[in-house]
Amino acid sequence: MSGTPALKTKLFNDTDDLNDFSAYPERIRAMAKAFPDMDVLKVEERVCTWAELLPQTNKVANTLKSRGLGRGDKVAVLAKSSVEYVEVFLGALQAGLCVVPLSGMASSLQLAGMVRDSGASMVFVSNSAKDLIIPFKGDVDTVSGDGYIAFDFVEDGWQSYSDLINGASAEDLIVDILPEDPFNLIYSSGTTGVPKGIEQSHYMRNQHVVRFEAMGFSSEAVTLISTALYSNTTLVALLPTLALGGRVVLMPKFDTVKFLDLAETEKVSHTMLVPVQYQRILAHEDFDKYDLSNFELKMSTSAPLREGVKQDALNRWPGKLIEIYGLTEGGIGTALSVTEFPDKLASVGKPGEGVDLRIIDEAGNQLPQGEIGEIVGRSDAMMTGYHNRPDLTDAMLWMAPDGKKFFKSGDMGRFDEDGFLYLLDRIKDMIISGGFNIYAADIETELMLHESVKDVAVIGIPSEEWGETPLALVVLNENANGSSNDIKSWVNERLGKTQRISGVEFRDDLPRSTIGKILKRELREEYI
């Protein structure tokens, strides 16, 4: 694959050396040529070789071109994971377009705002999500009447996907991709208004491929994907696998037993999971009966992986386990090889290759090792910016004394004497009680050591005496017999005086996003 000559770009990393850059469509064409008969993609019972998949993506690309779409234009997708979804994603990239993957967890009102904000010209939809589109269908100026495409249903006012690409050329469409060209636009989660659109460039995605190749992804990889395609968690594993000639097994919906069945029968070697999935898989009563010996690498991201879960996976699940901490916006990234550093399980590891992380105080001053502050970082993989929101992009930046731009994480943390990073809390989730900063993560870590505690979230609730006070919301293990007062007394004996919780309340479960993050904002709302 030919490289792009070194040139100056508008990227945040400010690099002049882009000789290792290869546009994603170029990588895909090379893999299809090298492995035409390989079963590259399996979704449920459907299996595609490159000889079948690439012509379909080319049809998509040529169809989009025929509709007058080209470099930088956008198409949105709101659908369950499917072969057709992958075809549209890859085909849009072949045509030089930017893909806008939409979340089925968003409201119809939010989705309308995202489509308008993105300027998408077409919206591809599966039957499972069409009811979210119908309320604003026809009301978005950039999407024409025939711009609503149905993947798997037939209905008036929707153009069939198969009819759309039928008759289109299956020949390669070659578009000269520049490093700063938009690759995808991912909207962050939010409960009100239009979430922020995070624009990632082709250069940023290229760096993900380079990093995953260094981690062991290759043409021998069989990667099992069980999170939704609108999530960056999914894309950072799926895209490098395809680009490096590996095989992808895609689950439209996560199911513990189905995951284990596929892992065994498909001889899966790589996967990316979120913490709640690890918990469910390892807790399954038949986990130890499955042959998982082909696993080489398991990754966890999106939320902190509990120390006990890391240890359990280390003991019982073959292959390396790496926890990744980072932002969809990029710039910040650490990796903890659980296998190599079993004595650092409470951390999220060290900064990755090319990542510069620092800790700053509220005034923006850099803090020394060991002190707690906000985590900021920069790397060779950083977003272009928040779409249409330069004000929000500027607000995220921290300028180092040497003039380099860092992204603020919104997370509190500290480095230990060995350079390992420890997360403490989101700044907005930090509890301030009687003038003292209390980090929920510290309390949660202690509570997870109690034999009755299966899961926990600590939040700050209003207190007339202290302003805020920490409250523990606990999910009990089966057959647990500890009372709330027992657990409260037990943990308070282990905590510092300023950390002590005011109470323990039991819950059947804790609300989580689709990628496993506990929604503390929802938990706090009922107490405000």
Q: Is residue 297 part of a domain?
A: yes
Token digits of residue 322 = 């790496």
**4 in a domain, yes or no?**
no
In a domain, 482, yes or no: yes
Instruction: Classify residue 453 by burial, with Cβ atoms within 10 Å: 0-12, 13-18, 19+.
Output: buried
Q: Residues 40-66: what's their mean pLDDT?
A: 98
CA–CA separation, 349 and 489 (whole Å): 32
Distance of alpha carbon 112 from alpha carbon 457, whole angstroms: 32
In a shared domain, residues 282 and 234: yes
Tokens of 312: 């359990």
Query: pLDDT digit string (tens) for 130-170?
Result: 999 999 999 999 999 999 999 999 999 999 999 999 999 99
Among 153-162, 444-453, 458-467, the minimum mean pLDDT is found in 458-467
Alpha helix segments (H runs only) across 331-482: 390-396, 440-447
The tally of domains found in the chain comes to: 3
Q: Residue 436: pLDDT above 90?
A: no
Q: Tell me, what's the pLDDT at 14?
A: 57
Instruction: Convert 124-160 into a string of H (helix), E (strand) and C (coil).
Output: EECHHHHHHHHHHCCCCCCCCHHHEEECCCCCCCCEE
Tell me whether residue 1 is in a domain.
no
| Domain containing residue 230: CATH number | 3.40.50.12780
Indicate whether 19 belongs to any domain. no
Which amino acid appears at position 291 of this protein?
D
pLDDT beyond 70 at 193: no
Residues 280 and 294 grouped into a single domain: yes
In a domain, 6, yes or no: no
* pLDDT tier for residue 6 given thresholds of 50, 70 and 90: very low
Residue 15 has a pLDDT of 55
Question: Are 501 and 436 part of one and the same domain?
Answer: yes
Element (H, E) at 48: strand 46-49
Nearest 5°: phi and psi at 31?
A: -70, -40
Which pLDDT score is estimated for 421? Answer: 97
Q: How far is CA 390 from CA 73, 98, 193, 395, 406, in A?
A: 19, 19, 17, 8, 15
Distance CA 272, CA 225 (A): 7
Tokens of 113: 């705002």
Q: Do 397 and 436 fall into the same domain?
A: no
Residue 165 sits in the same domain as residue 300: no
pLDDT of the residue at 516: 78
Let me know if residue 404 belongs to a domain: yes
Give me the pLDDT at residue 515, please. Answer: 74
At 327, is the pLDDT very low, low, confident or very high (cuts 50, 70, 90)? very high
- Give 338: exposed, middle or buried? Use CB within 10 Å, 0-12, 13-18, 19+: buried
Whether residue 180 sits in one domain with residue 106? yes
* Residues in contact with 521: Cβ distance below 8 Å, sequence separation at least 6, in sequence order: 191
Tell me, what's the pLDDT at 412? 92
Cα-flanking dihedrals φ and ψ of residue 326, to 5°? -170, 180
Q: How many CA atoms lie within 13 A of 84 on its CB side?
A: 19
Q: Which of 395, 425, 455 is the last residue of a domain?
A: 425
Q: What is the DSSP letter of 44?
A: T
17: confidence class by pLDDT, cuts 50, 70, 90? low
Name residue 187's beta-bridge partners: 197
- How confident is the model at residue 86, as a pLDDT? 98
More confident residue, 353 or 194: 353
How many whole angstroms separate alpha carbon 54 and alpha carbon 60? 10
Same domain, yes or no: 457 and 411: no
- In the block, tokens 């439209």 appear at 252
Is there a domain that residue 348 lies in? yes
Residue 368 exposed, middle or buried by CB count within 10 Å (0-12, 13-18, 19+): exposed
Domain end marker among 208, 233, 259: 208
Final residue in a domain of this structure, among 425, 440, 472 = 425
Secondary structure letter of residue 290 according to DSSP: S
Cα(89)–Cα(142) distance, rounded to whole angstroms? 19
Average pLDDT, the chain: 92
Same domain membership, residue 108 and residue 88? yes
Same domain? 401 vs 442: no
Same domain, 313 and 442: no
Domain of 464, CATH number, reads: 3.30.300.30
Task: Determine the structural domain holding residue 121 and report its residue range.
Answer: 24-208
Q: Does residue 141 share a domain with residue 84?
A: yes
**SS3 state at 500:** coil
Phi, psi of 368 (to 5 degrees): -75, 170
* Residues in contact with 26: Cβ distance below 8 Å, sequence separation at least 6, in sequence order: 1, 2, 177
Claim to verify: residue 456 and residue 393 sit in the same structural domain? no
For the chain, report the end-to-end CA distance as a whole number of angstroms.
57
Return the number of other C-beta atoms located less than 10 Å from residue 21's C-beta.
Answer: 24
Please report which confidence band the pLDDT of residue 179 belongs to, taking 50, 70 and 90 as the band edges: very high
Q: Strand 197-201 to strand 222-225: parallel, antiparallel, or no bridges (unpaired)?
A: unpaired
Query: Which has the closest alpha carbon to 143: 133, 129, 153?
Result: 133
Pairing of strands 453-463, 467-476: antiparallel
pTM across the whole model: 0.88
